[in-house]
């Protein structure tokens, strides 16, 4: 028994040493390696809350305590040709989802004004589909010109796979950030989508960056990938220089290709978020879809474990958290 206790103490000392030294390394401005991230992911449950606290401290020092709030509008819904298994808008599956063509300027503007009045700073038009056709693009550009004139919102766009010419046009009408998730690790992507490749997604990100747009790109966790694959995604995002990283958690919507998939336990999700903060210390690590369902009462711990941005006001095909409650939660954990 005494021997077991000594072993436990020794183990605890070793664990604490790893955590302290990696926290210091990141606070000093260095990046952690893939092996070091794997070491963090192997730390036992006894260290979890210390890991969350360390990630929160890294966020405070490297990214600040201010939470970036953004909102989206699903401006064209459903009927997508692609077979992304998680998505309710794919025409390959049978999820019940609204199907409609591009919304009018008035409809988008109304939503933008509503979000701005609630304190949201960024607003994105999102459309379903592999990419955007010529006619829809002209209309979307017109909507952005209007948003630029009539609001003070920072404008983001999420229009699927685009090339440099489209990225240039978006930049010219005042869009500052392009959203395009990598969705998951390259090694897991073929299990999630077969109608387009990971390379096409990376090329879209590069085209947006070359046009001078910032890029928002993250993924969805709990789609059956391993922890190592989640870390693989985070390192790819770091290599691409991504500054805004949405962390979605799978919502296994009925009728999608991932219907019925079991969601990871909340503490495993929070551990992933904390390690993402170690890997991407200065990024806007953004709470996005699925968290209400997956984290339930533990959502505030996400903010403690390194989150510093949030998508509020509803997601593409599911409602989001109450905005007032979200702002209260942010204040309650001491963030701004």
- Closest to ligand SF4 by CB, 194 or 328: 194
- Closest to ligand SF4 by CB, 51 or 88: 88
The only residue of 69, 72, 87, 208 in contact with ligand SF4, by rule CB under 6 A: 87
Give the CA distances from residue 235 to residues 69, 121, 278, in Å, rounded to whole numbers and listed in that order.
Answer: 24, 28, 11
The only residue of 23, 36, 68, 82 in contact with ligand SF4, by rule CB under 6 A: 82
Tokens 């028994």 identify what position?
A: 1
Closest separation between CB of residue 289 and ligand SF4, Å?
Answer: 11
Site string for ligand SF4, 148-177 (x = CB under 6 A): ------------x-----------------
Under the criterion CB under 6 A, does residue 72 sit at the interface with ligand SF4?
no
The only residue of 70, 80, 132, 264 in contact with ligand SF4, by rule CB under 6 A: 80
Closest separation between CB of residue 194 and ligand SF4, Å?
Answer: 11
Q: Single out the segment in contact with ligand SF4 by CB under 6 A; choices: 81-89, 133-141, 218-226, 271-279.
A: 81-89
* Alpha-carbon torsion (190, 194, 197, 198), positive or negative: negative
CA distance 279 to 274: 9
Under the criterion CB under 6 A, does residue 207 sit at the interface with ligand SF4?
no
The only residue of 15, 41, 90, 308 in contact with ligand SF4, by rule CB under 6 A: 90
Strands 68-76 and 175-179: unpaired
The pair of structure tokens assigned to 218 is: 């993250």
The pair of structure tokens assigned to 328 is: 């209260």
Under the criterion CB under 6 A, does residue 89 sit at the interface with ligand SF4?
yes
Residue 183's contacts (CB-CB under 8 Å, 6 or more residues apart) are 84, 86, 189, 192, 193, 201, 219, 220
Burial 60-72 (b: 16+ CB within 10 A, else e): ebbbeeebbbbbb
Q: Backbone phi, then psi, for 70, in 5-degree steps?
A: -130, 165
How many residues of this chain interact with ligand SF4, rule: CB under 6 A? 10
**Cβ-count burial of 156 within 10 angstroms (0-12 exposed, 13-18 middle, 19+ buried)?**
buried
CA distance 184 to 87: 13
Q: Single out the segment in contact with ligand SF4 by CB under 6 A; choices: 10-18, 42-50, 84-92, 286-294.
A: 84-92
Contact 231, 219 (CB under 8 A): no
Site string for ligand SF4, 119-148 (x = CB under 6 A): ---------xxx------------------
Residues that bind ligand SF4 (CB under 6 A): 80, 82, 84, 87, 89-90, 128-130, 160
């Amino acid at each position: 028994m005494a021997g077991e206790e000594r072993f436990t103490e020794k183990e605890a000392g070793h664990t604490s040493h790893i955590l302290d030294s990696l926290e210091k390394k990141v606070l000093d401005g260095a990046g952690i390696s893939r092996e070091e991230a794997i070491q963090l992911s192997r730390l036992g449950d006894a260290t979890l809350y210390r890991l969350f606290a360390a990630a929160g401290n890294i966020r405070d020092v490297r990214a600040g305590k201010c939470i970036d709030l953004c909102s989206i509008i699903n401006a064209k819904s459903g009927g997508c040709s692609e077979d992304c298994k998680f998505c309710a808008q794919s025409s390959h599956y049978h999820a019940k989802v609204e199907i409609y063509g591009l919304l009018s300027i008035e409809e988008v503007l109304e939503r933008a004004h509503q979000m701005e009045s609630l304190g949201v700073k960024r607003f994105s038009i999102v459309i379903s589909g592999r990419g955007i056709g010529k006619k829809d693009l002209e209309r979307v550009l017109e909507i952005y010109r209007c948003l630029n004139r009539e609001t003070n919102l920072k404008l983001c766009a999420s229009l699927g796979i685009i090339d440099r010419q489209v990225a240039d046009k978006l930049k010219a009408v005042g869009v500052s950030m392009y959203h395009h998730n990598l969705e998951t690790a390259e090694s897991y992507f073929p299990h999630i989508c077969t109608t387009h490749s990971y390379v096409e997604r990376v090329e879209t990100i590069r085209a947006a960056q070359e046009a001078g747009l910032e890029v928002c790109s993250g993924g969805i966790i709990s789609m059956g990938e391993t922890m190592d694959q989640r870390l693989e995604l985070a390192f790819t995002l770091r290599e691409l220089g991504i500054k805004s990283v949405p962390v979605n958690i799978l919502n296994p919507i009925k009728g999608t290709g991932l219907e019925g998939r079991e969601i990871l336990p909340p503490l495993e999700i929070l551990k992933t978020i904390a390690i993402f903060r170690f890997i991407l210390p200065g990024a806007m690590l953004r709470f996005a879809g699925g968290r209400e369902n997956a984290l339930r009462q533990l959502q505030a711990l996400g903010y403690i474990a390194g989150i510093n941005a949030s998508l509020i006001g509803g997601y593409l095909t599911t409602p989001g958290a109450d905005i007032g409650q979200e702002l209260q939660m942010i204040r309650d954990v001491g963030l701004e």
